[in-house]
Amino acid sequence: MLLLLLFPVVFPLPSGSQAGEIIGGQEARPHSRPYMAFVKIQREGKGANMCGGFLIREDVVVTAAHCNCNLGNISVLLGAHNFEIDELGTQTIWVRRRIPHPKFNSETFENDIMLLQLRDKAELTQTVGTIPLSQEKVKKGAVCSVAGWGQTSVKTNTWPSPTLQEVELTVMGKSMCLSRPILHYVPSRMLCVGDPQERKAPFLGDSGCPLVCDGKAQGIVSHGSGDWSTPSVFTRLSKYVSWIKNTLHKLKP
């Protein structure tokens, strides 16, 4: 299905952060990440906000709670590599219900996770699939990856990449993020992730996109320092697996 960007594109920029960036990365192999979701939040007469997300069940996408913004209707584009063209195998599905974590704090970004229940189940194909959630804590030094359709340049007011970009990042020690109070880092609920060589800028992926380690989702892109420096903070998914399972169990079809 064709997703036409005939409106101003506004990426959510949480206070003290830079969201929607893939700096120092490369274009992903088309459809190599079938779980990726391009999330569009409609704003009547004011364009749209956009985030990333990932499919964990045929009818559920996970994204960041700060993407909610109390705006209008939300749709997700699944199976896309280039969101600007009509690609074979893509599916656009409207969101029936948004479920931000009840204890999400928009100032500190604690519990920055939201579930999107889709109106219709996605058809699982070669280009659309789910990703499992890790229930174990990821170890310091683990090399993971993140992908998104964010900007590819540190220049301000640049357009997002129409094609999916990806980059490898390293899970860092908590001291790295604790030394930067602007990050609002809480070790038990967040991951400190970045490039040890400090060659790559902070938000290496759209807000809401998954940090993937050994084929499982370990984190959600949350916030960064805002000065194009590494590291960045990701929601620690293993902390929320129980909440996700309990919430899904209660969802009405």
161-204, pLDDT tens digit by residue?
Answer: 789 999 889 999 999 999 988 888 999 999 999 887 765 544 44
- Per the annotation, the verdict on 66 as an active-site residue is yes
- Per the annotation, the verdict on 223 as an active-site residue is no
Pairing mode, if any, of strands 48-57 and 9-10?
parallel
So what's the pLDDT on residue 22? 46
pTM: 0.86
Q: Is the dihedral of CA 203, 10, 64, 30 positive or negative?
A: negative
- Per the annotation, the verdict on 225 as an active-site residue is no
Among residues 17, 59, 66, 232, which one is catalytic?
66
Coil, strand, or helix at residue 216? strand
So what's the pLDDT on residue 13? 35
Rounded distance between C-alpha atoms, residue 218 and residue 204, angstroms = 15
Rounded distance between C-alpha atoms, residue 78 and residue 58, angstroms = 11
Q: Is the pLDDT of residue 240 over 70?
A: yes
Q: Is the pLDDT of residue 24 over 80?
A: no
So what's the pLDDT on residue 252? 77
Question: Domains in the chain, ordered, with CATH?
Answer: 34-130+241-250 (2.40.10.10), 143-238 (2.40.10.10)
Instruction: Give φ, ψ of 67 to 5 degrees.
Output: -75, -15
Q: Tell me the per-residue pLDDT of 30-69, one tens digit each, with 9 for 90 and over.
A: 999 999 999 988 776 666 788 999 999 999 999 999 998 7
So what's the pLDDT on residue 72? 77
Query: Where are the strands (E) in 158-251, listed by range?
Result: 165-171, 190-194, 210-213, 216-223, 232-236
Among residues 31, 75, 112, 223, which one is catalytic?
112
Among residues 17, 75, 161, 207, which one is catalytic?
207
Q: Is the pLDDT of residue 157 over 60?
A: no
